[in-house]
Chain A
Amino acid sequence: GAGVSQTPSNKVTEKGKYVELRCDPISGHTALYWYRQSLGQGPEFLIYFQGTGAADDSGLPNDRFFAVRPEGSVSTLKIQRTERGDSAVYLCASSFGPGLAGSSAGELFFGEGSRLTVL
C-alpha cells in the first residue's frame, strides 16, 4: 500500500497476556518509529529503528516492551505480561530518516494506530 499500515487496528486483551502489534512502513523508508498515545496526550516516543537496528530505545517504559525489525522493513512491537496501564493507541511512523550527520529530519508518515485495551 501507499501508506504506513498497522495491524490490528483494535486489540482487546486480558491483564497478563502477551500482545504483538505490527507495522508495515512505506516502501523505501529506512527509519521506523513507535510512539504511544494516551487519550488527550501527545505521542510519547518509544523506540526508533534505522534499518534493522534500534538506534534509540530510550522510550521503552520497561523490559516488558520489546520491538524488532529483522529485515529492515516490517516491525513488531511486543508487550509481555500486559497491564491495564498499557492501554493506549500505539502509533507507528516511517521516514527517510535523519540522513547524514548535520542534516535535518524530514517529516514522519504515521499509520492509523493500534488501539490496545487491557482489561
Chain B
Amino acid sequence: SQQGEEDPQALSIQEGENATMNCSYKTSINNLQWYRQNSGRGLVHLILIRSNEREKHSGRLRVTLDTSKKSSSLLITASRAADTASYFCATFLYNQGGKLIFGQGTELSVKP
C-alpha cells in the first residue's frame, strides 16, 4: 500500500526556475525521505528529515516538514535540465517494521 500522495503528479518548468513538490502522508512517522529516479534507473537518496525537524537544506534542495498537517515539501532552486527526473517522498515509522513506504511521485521536466 502507498502511504504518501504527491502533488503535482507532473511539473514542467524552465531552467533557472524553482520547482516545488508536495507530499502528504497518513500516519505518524519517525522520518521522511526524498528520492530521485531518472528514467529507467534506480532511486537515489536526496535528503532525510526527522520528525522533530521542520526544515533542512542540502545544496539547492530545501525540505520542509509539517507533522501537524502530515505534509512535506521539496524545493529545488535554480533548476537545471539535469534535474529532470521523478521525485518520490518516502516515510519511515519504526514500529511498522522498519520499512520505507513511498508515494506515487512527481515527474519533473526542466526545459533548457
A101: chain B residues at CB < 8 Å are 94
B75: chain A residues at CB < 8 Å are none
| Total number of B residues with any Cβ neighbor in A under 8 Å | 26
The winner among B41, B42, B48, B97 for most chain A CB atoms within 10 A is B42
Main secondary structure on A side of the interface with B: loop
- Check A83 for interface membership: any CB of B closer than 8 A: no
- Check A14 for interface membership: any CB of B closer than 8 A: no
In contact, B99 and A48 (Cβ under 8 angstroms): yes
In contact, B98 and A48 (Cβ under 8 angstroms): yes
Q: Which of B41, B48, B88, B97 contacts A42 (CB 8 A)?
A: B88
B101: chain A residues at CB < 8 Å are 45
- Check B28 for interface membership: any CB of A closer than 8 A: no
* B30 CB, min distance to chain A CBs, angstroms: 5
Chain A-chain B contacts (Cβ-Cβ < 8 Å), number: 76
- Check B13 for interface membership: any CB of A closer than 8 A: no
| Total number of A residues with any Cβ neighbor in B under 8 Å | 32
A interface footprint on B79-104 (CB within 8 Å = 1, 0 otherwise) = 00000000010001010011111111
Q: A35-B102, A101-B94 are in contact. List 10 more A-B contacts (CB 8 A).
A: A43-B88, A44-B102, A45-B99, A45-B101, A48-B98, A56-B98, A98-B92, A105-B94, A108-B35, A108-B100
Binding site for B on A (CB under 8 A): 4, 31, 33, 35, 41-45, 48, 50, 55-56, 58-59, 91, 93, 97-98, 101-113
